[in-house]
Amino acid sequence: MSLSSLWRAATQHRLFWPVAALIVLLLINVPFTPGFFEIHLKNGHLYGSLVSIVLFGSPLILVSIGMTLVIATGGIDLSVGAVVAISGALACLVVSKQADQNSVAGVLLSFGLALAAALVCGAWNGLLVARLGIQPIIATLILMVAGRGVAQLITGGQIITVNSDSYSLIGGGYWLTLPFSLFVVALVVVLSMVLTRRTALGLLVEAVGGNAEASRLAGIRSRRIKIMAYVFCGLCAGVAGLMISSNVSAADGNNAGLWIELDAILAVVIGGTSLTGGRFHLGGTIVGALIIQTLTTTIYTIGVPTQTNLVFKAVVVIIVCLLQSAAFREKAFGALTKRRNPARKDPGASVDAAPQLEVSP
């Protein structure tokens, strides 16, 4: 195997570019923060830039995982930010009403209620999309708008603060020297991997997103699959909401999870899952979410004014989307692609696809 073919094999691995981008981003930090990769043990807790990237990136990773499944079915969920707010608000409300805010039972109850609310939100989106056949963007727009209102209704328009060590564990606490949220993320990641790859859910989701009509004719009950994807996405957003509110020990119906749907979609796209549905890559999504978090951190550390963060993200979105666009590749690297596979030029125009004239009205 020549060096160039080795290079090609490596670059063609779907995780290559995301991971390379992540590494480059991390390396950029080194000249500015010499001890960037160092991890210290202080008071039995691990500290370091890498740890905080994971810690602060946890909610985004969670939301992105749920979003990945929804996008894989060919849908999208704009309401995750609102669900984050609802879940955080409800949990904080329940905890703040307890006589003993530290009571584990009370905190668990708050978790349960918050997740139940998130589940209902997900099921609502799923029903609108799968049962009523409303376009996903539009269907989830409803909850995106109304959900923030509901969250503020729960908090009464105030920021509810809680004072509970048990509650702050999930988002800000440490366990076995590691941030507790790391365990939660790991648990959700493992759970979603098991759910999609140890059962047939992943295959069915990819089939529905890859070719909805073929899936129907193969006997897949695509409605059920879609509803499950939205419910799972809602639950992920719910857990992320708990984490965010627990991290600051407060629930803010207005600002919790603001823009997180956009970051999550971005993470999914960077991770190599196509917005048109089909094949999904949970590993890629996690890397994508880490890239976004690292980008934020990097902007802080290298002293670029933090306000350019959003402009950066916009540029990244556009570059990633342009690279995913066949039309762009054709125009930009037209000569190259054409030579390699001439079939590309006229997609779907092969003999057996073109003369499909029969119609069943």
Interface with other proteins in residues 307-336 (CB under 8 A): 307-315, 317-318, 321-322, 324-328, 331
Residue of 204, 229, 236, 260 interacting with other proteins (CB under 8 A)? 204
Which of these segments, 10-18, 38-46, 167-175, 257-265, binds other proteins (CB under 8 A)?
A: 257-265
Residue of 69, 84, 95, 201 interacting with other proteins (CB under 8 A)? 201
Q: Within 58-77, which residues bind other proteins (CB under 8 A)?
A: 76
3-state secondary structure the chain: CCHHHHHHHHHHCCCHHHHHHHHHHHHHHCCCCCCCCCEEEECCEEEEHHHHHHHHHHHHHHHHHHHHHHHHCCCCCCCHHHHHHHHHHHHHHHHHHCCCCCCHHHHHHHHHHHHHHHHHHHHHHHHHHHHCCCCHHHHHHHHHHHHHHHHHHHHCCCEEECCCHHHHHHHHCEECCEEHHHHHHHHHHHHHHHHHHHCCHHHHHHHHHHCHHHHHHCCCCHHHHHHHHHHHHHHHHHHHHHHHHHHHCEEECCCCCCCHHHHHHHHHHHCCCCCCCCCCCHHHHHHHHHHHHHHHHHHHHCCCCHHHHHHHHHHHHHHHHHHHCHHHHHHHCHHHHHHHCHHHHCCCCCCCCCCCCCCCC
Q: Answer yes or no: are the C-beta atoms of 102 and 291 closer than 8 Å.
A: no
Residue of 1, 3, 99, 132 interacting with other proteins (CB under 8 A)? 132
Q: Residue 159 interacts with other proteins (CB under 8 A)?
A: no
At its nearest, how many Å lie between other proteins and the CB of residue 89?
11
Q: How many residues bind other proteins (CB under 8 A)?
A: 90
Q: Residue 23 interacts with other proteins (CB under 8 A)?
A: no
Decide whether 41 or 218 has the Cβ nearer to other proteins: 218
At its nearest, how many Å lie between other proteins and the CB of residue 165?
30
Q: Residue 133 interacts with other proteins (CB under 8 A)?
A: yes
Q: What CA–CA distance (Å, rounded) separates 324 from 278?
A: 14
At its nearest, how many Å lie between other proteins and the CB of residue 217?
5
Q: What CA–CA distance (Å, rounded) separates 237 from 234?
A: 5
Residue of 184, 206, 243, 294 interacting with other proteins (CB under 8 A)? 206
Q: Residue 163 interacts with other proteins (CB under 8 A)?
A: no
At its nearest, how many Å lie between other proteins and the CB of residue 159?
13
At its nearest, how many Å lie between other proteins and the CB of residue 311?
3
Residue of 216, 300, 301, 337 interacting with other proteins (CB under 8 A)? 216
Tell me how far CA of residue 222 lies from CA of 69, 74, 214, in angstroms. 13, 11, 11
Decide whether 144 or 290 has the Cβ nearer to other proteins: 144
Q: What CA–CA distance (Å, rounded) separates 328 from 338?
A: 13
Which of these segments, 48-56, 109-117, 144-152, 178-186, binds other proteins (CB under 8 A)?
A: 144-152
At its nearest, how many Å lie between other proteins and the CB of residue 237?
17
Q: Residue 239 interacts with other proteins (CB under 8 A)?
A: no
Q: Residue 9 interacts with other proteins (CB under 8 A)?
A: no
Q: Residue 199 interacts with other proteins (CB under 8 A)?
A: yes
Q: What's the first-to-final CA gap in the chain, in angstroms?
A: 55
Decide whether 2 or 307 has the Cβ nearer to other proteins: 307
At its nearest, how many Å lie between other proteins and the CB of residue 22?
20
Q: Residue 156 interacts with other proteins (CB under 8 A)?
A: yes
Q: Is 174 helix (H, G, I), strand (E, B) or coil?
A: strand
Which of these segments, 39-47, 92-100, 176-184, 338-346, binds other proteins (CB under 8 A)?
A: 338-346
Q: Residue 142 interacts with other proteins (CB under 8 A)?
A: yes
Which of these segments, 17-25, 105-113, 153-161, 283-291, binds other proteins (CB under 8 A)?
A: 153-161
Q: How many residues are present in the chain?
A: 361
Q: Residue 211 interacts with other proteins (CB under 8 A)?
A: yes
Scan for tokens 């950029």, then name that residue. Answer: 28
